[in-house]
Amino acid sequence: MHRLISSPLGALLDTPAYERFKLERMPFELRLLRLGAMASALGSSDADELIARLGVKNEVSMKMRRRLARGLVHFARAHAAREEITRRWERAFWGEPWPPPGREELIRLEIERRVRTRRCLVPQRTLGFFAAEVPFDPIAFHVPSPGEVAARWAREIARPELLYGLPAELPAIECSRSLPGPVGPEYLIRFRSPSRIGDVVHARVFEPERREEVAATFIYAGGLFTACDDVVYWPEEEAMGRGLAARGHRVILLAPPWHGRRAPAGKASGEAILSAGPEGLFRLCAAGAQEMAVLIAWARELGSCVVGIGGTSIGALVAQAVCGRARSFPRGMRPDAVFLAGAALRLDEAILDAPLAERMGLSRAILEAGWTREALACLRDVFDPPSEPGIPPERIHAVLGLSDPFLPATLGRELLRAWHVPEGNITLRPGGQVGLLLHLVRDSDARLTIAGALRRAARAVRA
């Protein structure tokens, strides 16, 4: 898949027509993801129960119910196979089996886990017909009202540093067995989130075979709905992980809060962010920033004198939060360079007005929960980063999609102007979220920009 996307044929995907196609298809794709998550949580072939949990409003015929029950039987087999391989994979990578698994066994288990997991995350073969033919909400919204959010987060809204603050004692980081990758060793890490989410954070590390003269690490968070390494082809794994490791840098791909293996039971990857509306978004920014700061400190413990961070879509929101609030972090937890594929100020406006928010039903759900523009604006201090970056602006690089349906380029430009980021560090591209991801995968310019930023930061550190 990566070879196809990065080939000349892949240029056919980097077009406004394909971007529109993906935006139009998104409700179906989200219904399919939600269906897989709900079926996994259900654990049975009870079609009536699944229909009730999905909140299907229209009458579902008996013929469709019987068809769904048959599909759930097949799905249950796929889910059992996923559970079985996951147990074996967990023991091989994180346990202490004897004899220790060899290289071929680790690779086989990793590939098989991804294949079987994807069949459950995206159940096209077993349940796709239901997502295509029966209308139900692509996201199960449970947006707290302004009063509920104010009651829960009054102190943090008044003092955002309480939301973004770091604990005195950082969580211990556990490393899995490594397996040989195409450009160097690869392994997993996990640790307890220092945020109020408190779940287990997962990340994947790509070590280079040969390091640059100055050891550098780049920490990257992917975009909305990314399944991370729960699918066979993970674009950021090839483009960022292995692409930058091949240039001599360690790369850490962070699973954003509520994504990949961090998705709550019954929720698709990333669904929990949007289902909670404004509260979900500022909790994402804060938790992701705290987790990225932990990884910065860990990378320095491993000997990296330079640590860069970056992200796409919601990953970019996390990276811009770290960049903006770095002044309040201990020196060893501040980034040396930042790369943003997407950026925005005034997120309170984006979640109401952005085409993607409207397409997913987010805007409507927020308004139905009692939010007004004035009430959303009161959250701006927890949504947006401070008006000055925590690192020199010349170390910040950004690429913005001119027709980004989630993070409008105008709001990204506003942030970068406020931060006095040099114009030469900003790239404007046609297209939106899909185009930005394709740009990162297909075009080596982004990787060259990141590698160059790390080298310049290294020179500044040594000076």
Mean pLDDT, the chain cut into blocks of 10 residues (463 residues total): 59 74 89 97 91 94 97 97 97 87 92 97 97 96 97 96 93 95 95 96 94 81 94 90 93 97 96 97 97 98 95 96 96 96 92 89 96 96 95 96 90 97 93 79 80 87 70
Quick one: pLDDT at residue 149? Answer: 98
How, if at all, do strands 179-180 and 200-206 pair? unpaired
Quick one: pLDDT at residue 213? Answer: 59
Quick one: pLDDT at residue 101? Answer: 87
pTM score, whole prediction? 0.94
Q: Cβ(36)–Cβ(123) under 8 Å?
A: yes
Quick one: pLDDT at residue 61? Answer: 96
Quick one: pLDDT at residue 355? Answer: 87
Burial class (CB in 10 A: 0-12, 13-18, 19+), 272: buried
Structure tokens at 344: 């925005």
Question: pLDDT tens digit string along 269-307?
Answer: 999 999 999 999 999 999 999 999 999 999 999 999 999
Quick one: pLDDT at residue 463? Answer: 65
Quick one: pLDDT at residue 7? Answer: 58
Q: What is the 3-state secondary structure (H, E, C) of the chain?
A: CHHHHHCHHHHHCCCHHHHHHHHHHHHHHHHHHHHHHHHHHHCCCCHHHHHHHHCCCCCCCHHHHHHHHHHHHHHHHHHHHHHHHHHHHHHHHHCCCCCCCCHHHHHHHHHHHHHHHHHHHCCHHHHHHHHHHCCCCCCCCCCCCHHHHHHHHHHHHHCHHHHHCCCCCCCCCEECCCEECCCCEEEEEEEECCCCCCCEEEEEEECCCCCCCCCEEEEEECCCCCCHHHCCCCHHHHHHHHHHHCCCCEEEEECCCCCHHHCCCCCCCCHHHHHCCHHHHHHHHHHHHHHHHHHHHHHHHCCCCEEEEEEECHHHHHHHHHHHHHHHCCHHHCCCEEEEECCCCCHHHHHHHCHHHHHCCHHHHHHHCCCCHHHHHCCHHHHCCCCCCCCCHHHEEEEEECCCCCCCHHHHHHHHHHCCCCHHHEEEECCCHHHHHHHHHHCCHHHHHHHHHHHHHHHHHHC
Please report the domains of the chain, with CATH numbers, ordered by start residue: 25-133 (no CATH), 146-462 (3.40.50.1820)
Quick one: pLDDT at residue 59? Answer: 93
